[in-house]
Structure 1
Amino acid sequence: MTVLSVAVSGVVTATAAQAQQDAASKPNAVITWNVHAQTAIYEVARQSPTAAARSFAMTQGAVYDAVNAIAGTPYKPYLIAPRSRPSDSTPAAVATAAYRTLVSLFPAQADSLRAQYEESLAAIPDGASKRGGVAVGEATAEAMINARRNDGAFSNATWPVGSAPGQWRPTPPEFLQVGAWYATLKPFVITPADYRTPGPPALTSAAYARDLNEVKALGSATSTTRTAEQTEAAIWWDDPRLVEWSIKRQLATTYRLGTLQTARMFAMVDVAAADTLIACYQEKKRWSFWRPVTAIPLADTDGNPATDADPAWAPLRTTAPSPEYPSGHACFTAATTTALRQFFGRDDLTFSAHSADSGTTRHYHSLSKAMAELDEARVWAGVHYRFAAKDGHRLGSTVTRDVLDHAFGPRRD
């Protein structure tokens, strides 16, 4: 491949040779600080996947605005394009934007983040270039921090709890009430309330019975019909250290993206994922549908003669503490794969990732095949019905396309 097309609307932005030369000349600061962000967000803070989506979107949005500004603002700024010069240090801007944003999110990690920041700056020669890059990064981080102040994160919102058939209630083993605040989180780009799903099928329908009986058979902790390959995939995709995080970095490296295109790709994916999850969680709250771990033991109350109760049934993987419909993971991964497809202009990307939970590495040669497996894996894990994954997939794709219609495209003066 001689030309790497990495822009929305088919605009060719870099050749593979140019990108390779850029990547070989110096480390990609965007990737370095994305790893630091994962350390702060998950490895230390242990944020949930939804909370992490907000943190990554904030960090990568600030980094993108900084890199884009120094590059001459060839793309629409997410928030601002601070005054800059082409000679300003991009690595200094990346490090500063990420560091300032992460410290605002995790003040208890200030010492470790400061050490990483000082290490990054120590590799950059002192002078006007470095000072200029620092100033640009400080400006974009400040804009992001101000934009997200009082955005509703970590409020005391709760999920509606019911007792009638079909209504969600807290699930074992800990019966938690967690994450409802995401449904009221301030969006990053679009208006998530504009997006709706058709809702789960009626409890008495053949469609509901079919999908409940499928997850009952395939998603049980003691299933005799789920294959070893399906079990591995279910665990691999369910790892809370999301494989999507490392897949983005691997793609940036494999396809030799330069700093600007890496920053843009990460921002496209992470901001789209955050808005998708807001829309997804609004729909979870709207439908408040029961999880398989609740529905299967109580199947004798659903009014459907094609379902039978199994009081001892348990899923392969622990059920998340939120309503079932639509699938949050399907929403998130659809956002990720849709944004990647739009960025690269193709579906046939090769990538892999390792999961500590499954102890395995899985390989893919297209985004669509990976996404199709994720939909199946939520059923194999015993945490979602097929209709929840299908509708979450559709919602994530739709929201992401609209986010990227409004943000991160080429600037047209």
Structure 2
Amino acid sequence: MSRMFFIAFLIISITCPAQKTTSNDWKMKTENAEFLHRAMKQVTDVIVHDIFSPPVTSRTYAYVSVAAYETLIQGNNNYTSLAGQLHDLEALPIKENKIEYSPTLAAVHALLTTSKHFVLSEEKIDGFEKTLLEEFRTLGIPKTTYDSSIAYGQQVAEHIIAWANKDNYKQIQSMSDYRVRNDVGSWKPTPPAYMKAIEPNWNKLRTFMIDSAQQFKPVPPPPFSTDTASTFYKDVVAVYEKVNTNTAEENEIANFWDCNPFKMNVRGHVMYATKKISPNGHWMNITSLTCKKSNASVLKSAEAYATVAVTLADAFISCWDEKYRSSVIRPETYINQHIDPNWLPVLQTPPFPEYTSGHSVVSSAAAIMLGKLFGETFEFSDNTEVEFGLPVRNFGSFKQAAEEAAISRFYGGIHYMPAIVNGQEEGYAIGAFFANNLRTNSK
């Protein structure tokens, strides 16, 4: 009897698979954060190609990241919408419960569709999305699910674009350029291209969560002076002497955090540009590699992108507000006029006033938000600059990376120490404001 039972059991085991393939297997395959990371990297690549200024880049990242986050959290009680928290963002379209969706597919489509509203090279986004969507189709998503996911992602994208269209950006672009002041102590265009000042009216952009561009106004910079006993002169000499005595490691740090989207190169009578990632693009990439190292879900990854991006965006508004209020002269200009006409900084001086340091502000703000999400002692290897020919740098925390990003501007010869130290305080305050007040995960 027992022998017959064993044979029957064996036959059943052979003819009936232990785990039957179901029609929902596509769900596990599509809810993969890598799709989101690849979409965000494509946006970064197009931003680099299109040569966006750092403030404009921060605006783009904020809107596309919010689009992805809001798409993914619909119907998920563990996450809170940013509607009602970010200025003028109204409740997002609601998914129909009776229809099945792929949240990741919908979110990727929302992110990429939104991004096309901001970039110049739309065709690069189109081509990438076409390839990505073909990958989704090969995973066995039912046609009705595929179509409903794309349709919902489109709804969210249109909602976010409508929100973005009311942030005063178009009006800012039609405002007058910055008029260079004649006094000796104010910012002047710098070599080699002597470009006009970038985004002098950025403080008029609608903020994302801070009350206004002035909410985290830093202390004023030291007053301009050519008196050798003055604080300002001593700050200038500190930059001059630091660049002249930099170690190889300090020069490497300066170049690693350069993040100049449009470095102008001069070879005789030929001038050409080198395109690189922006400082906020660098921190968005740090967000990406952090999510990957921690095996963050697609929802957690979207939360990280969105919270870091809106923090960066308001940090830029705050920083740019101060830059054009104080209009501090750059070290290169001062040193060439008053100390050494042949002196050159390690880095090319960017085309906007000196105070406060943008890297110091935005890096400090991003570090606070990332520390909240992933821990204050999260170790990571930053490979952001590898594609631009620079080696990996290792950090024991986000704050350590932010501190290195800040001091890199001193090593690079493009900022005085007050812009760095006070910029860090400005950034830490903005980061803490977002970390303490922006609600995402409801657990």
| TM-score tier (shorter) | 0.7 to 0.9
> Which of 44, 48, 55 lines up with 2:53 in the alignment?
48
Query: What is the match of residue 42 of structure 2?
Result: 36
Give yes or no for contact 2:43–2:125 (8 Å, CA) kept in 1: no
Give yes or no for contact 2:360–2:420 (8 Å, CA) kept in 1: yes
Q: Does 2:130 align with 1:118?
A: yes
Give yes or no for contact 2:381–2:392 (8 Å, CA) kept in 1: no
Q: Does 2:178 align with 1:159?
A: yes
Deviation at 1:143, TM superposition (A): 1.7
The range that moved more, 206-215 or 152-161, is 152-161
Query: What is the match of residue 82 of structure 1?
Result: 93
> Which of 200, 207, 213 lines up with 1:187 in the alignment?
207
Taking the aligned partners of 1:28 and 1:251, their CA distance within structure 2 comes to 13
Give yes or no for contact 2:361–2:427 (8 Å, CA) kept in 1: yes
Query: What is the match of residue 147 of structure 1?
Result: 163
> Which of 305, 318, 323 lines up with 2:348 in the alignment?
318
Query: What is the match of residue 273 of structure 1?
Result: 312
Taking the aligned partners of 1:27 and 1:411, their CA distance within structure 2 comes to 20
Relative to the length of structure 2, the TM-score reads 0.79
Residue ranges of structure 1 left out of the alignment (5+ in a row): 1-21, 300-308
Q: 1:401/1:337 Cα in 2 relative to 1: closer, same or farther (>3 Å)?
A: same
Relative to the length of structure 1, the TM-score reads 0.84
Q: Does 2:372 align with 1:361?
A: no
Structure 1 vs Structure 2 CA RMSD: 2.4
Q: Does 2:315 align with 1:286?
A: no
> Which of 241, 254, 268 lines up with 1:217 in the alignment?
241
Give yes or no for contact 2:218–2:426 (8 Å, CA) kept in 1: yes
The one-letter code of the counterpart of 1:29 is F
Q: 1:368/1:207 Cα in 2 relative to 1: closer, same or farther (>3 Å)?
A: farther
- Partner SS for 1:298: helix
Deviation at 1:401, TM superposition (A): 2.3
Query: What is the match of residue 263 of structure 2?
Result: none
Taking the aligned partners of 2:219 and 2:389, their CA distance within structure 1 comes to 34
- Partner SS for 2:336: coil
Taking the aligned partners of 1:168 and 1:111, their CA distance within structure 2 comes to 38
Q: Does 2:428 align with 1:397?
A: yes
What are the equivalent positions in structure 2 for 1:62-141 lying under 5 Å apart? 62-72=67-77, 74-78=79-83, 79=89, 80-84=91-95, 85=97, 87-106=100-119, 108-122=120-134, 123-124=136-137, 125-141=141-157
- Percent identity of the aligned residues? 23
Give yes or no for contact 1:40–1:102 (8 Å, CA) kept in 2: no
What count of residue pairs does the alignment treat as equivalent?
377
Deviation at 1:354, TM superposition (A): 4.2
> Which of 354, 379, 382 lines up with 1:349 in the alignment?
379
Deviation at 1:69, TM superposition (A): 1.2
Q: Does 2:186 align with 1:175?
A: no
Deviation at 1:166, TM superposition (A): 2.2
Residue ranges of structure 2 left out of the alignment (5+ in a row): 1-27, 84-88, 261-276
Deviation at 1:206, TM superposition (A): 4.5
Taking the aligned partners of 1:392 and 1:116, their CA distance within structure 2 comes to 37
Q: 1:206/1:353 Cα in 2 relative to 1: closer, same or farther (>3 Å)?
A: farther
